[in-house]
């Protein structure tokens, strides 16, 4: 597992993560004895920065998320997995802030730095979202398909749900309504299995919009009320969010 991978046990540190990262940065270069050295302190700073970014993105504090991600990505001590992680979050923050050109550059950098297939899949999905925002539907579809292949190879249901939601939305926007409906219904099912309420919610919004414009607003799939329930608990920003 990459060292930058965050676990559920890290959540308790999130409220203090930005402050702890600053303390760690201040501690670098101080003469000390024992097992604690600058390399250890830098590792702690990187981890606290990652936690702080996760919280800032979830809180939609985009300026802070972007600033923290740039700080992590520029640290010379950061290995590829940490720099990939930072560029991926930077891409998400910039996209949410509607700086699509800069977001695309960050997502491409994340893909270049990806240390494993899971990181490649996440970067491909972020690339797909940014290509779609730029109106390049062919590139968006290709990147989402790549993410889908990786997700299925890894049995990563969250990544698969995100790729399905993106592909379903692309089919919807392209007028392929029957195919879009099937893909979005599958996205909802996989997202529920993955316990990814953010992706389930946006998939239901896309499906509700699709059924509404295709003359099926009363179809008993409960598409519109459900997203509100999906988003009652804080969660990470959904990479499948598209216009």
Give the Cα separation of 52 and 64 in Å (integer): 9
Residue 107 included in any domain: yes
Model-level pTM? 0.78
What pLDDT is attached to residue 24?
64
Residue 193 included in any domain: no
Which CATH number does the domain housing residue 61 bear? Answer: 1.25.40
Residue 102 included in any domain: yes
In this predicted model, what pLDDT tens digit does every residue of 36-59 receive, in sequence order? 556 667 777 888 888 888 888 888
What pLDDT is attached to residue 109?
95
Residue 98 included in any domain: yes
All residue ranges of the chain with pLDDT < 70 are 1-40, 213-243
Residue 40 included in any domain: yes
DSSP 238: P
Q: Which of 208, 217, 215, 218 is nearest to 188 (CA)?
A: 208
Residue 126 included in any domain: no
Helix ranges (DSSP H) in 134-236: 137-154, 157-173, 177-193, 197-213, 225-230
Residue 99 included in any domain: yes
Residue 232 included in any domain: no
User: How many domains in the chain?
Assistant: 1
In terms of C-beta distances under 8 Å and separation of at least 24 residues, what long-range contacts does 89-93 make, across chains too? Answer: 89/50, 89/53, 89/54, 89/57, 89/65, 90/66, 91/126, 91/130, 92/57, 92/65, 92/126, 92/237, 92/239, 93/53, 93/56, 93/57, 93/62, 93/65, 93/66, 93/69
Give the Cα separation of 162 and 187 in Å (integer): 7
What pLDDT is attached to residue 232?
46
Taking CA atoms, 184 is separated from 121, 139, 150, 237, in Å, by 19, 20, 19, 19
What is the domain extent for residue 99?
A: 14-27+36-115
């Amino acid at each position: 597992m990459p060292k930058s991978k965050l676990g559920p046990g890290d959540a308790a540190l999130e409220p203090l993560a930005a402050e702890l990262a600053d303390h760690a940065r201040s501690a670098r270069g101080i003469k000390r004895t024992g097992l604690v050295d600058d390399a250890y302190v830098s590792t702690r700073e990187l981890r606290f920065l990652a936690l702080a970014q996760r919280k800032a993105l979830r809180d939609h504090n985009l300026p802070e998320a972007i600033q923290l991600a740039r700080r992590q990505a520029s640290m010379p001590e950061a290995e590829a997995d940490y720099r990939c992680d930072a560029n991926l979050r930077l891409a998400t923050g910039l996209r949410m802030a509607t700086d699509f050109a800069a977001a695309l550059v960050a997502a491409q950098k994340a893909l270049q730095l990806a240390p494993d297939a899971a990181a490649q899949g996440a970067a491909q999905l972020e690339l797909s979202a940014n290509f779609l925002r730029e109106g390049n539907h062919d590139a968006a579809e290709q990147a989402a398909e790549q993410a889908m292949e990786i997700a299925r190879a890894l049995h990563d249901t969250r990544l698969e749900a995100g790729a399905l939601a993106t592909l379903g939305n692309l089919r919807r926007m392209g007028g392929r309504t029957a195919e879009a409906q099937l893909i979005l219904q599958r996205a909802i099912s996989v997202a529920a299995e993955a316990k990814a309420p953010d992706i389930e919610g946006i998939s239901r919004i896309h499906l509700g919009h699709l059924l509404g414009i295709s003359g099926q607003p009363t179809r008993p799939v409960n598409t519109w009320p459900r997203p509100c329930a999906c988003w009652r608990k804080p969660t990470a920003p959904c990479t499948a969010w598209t216009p």
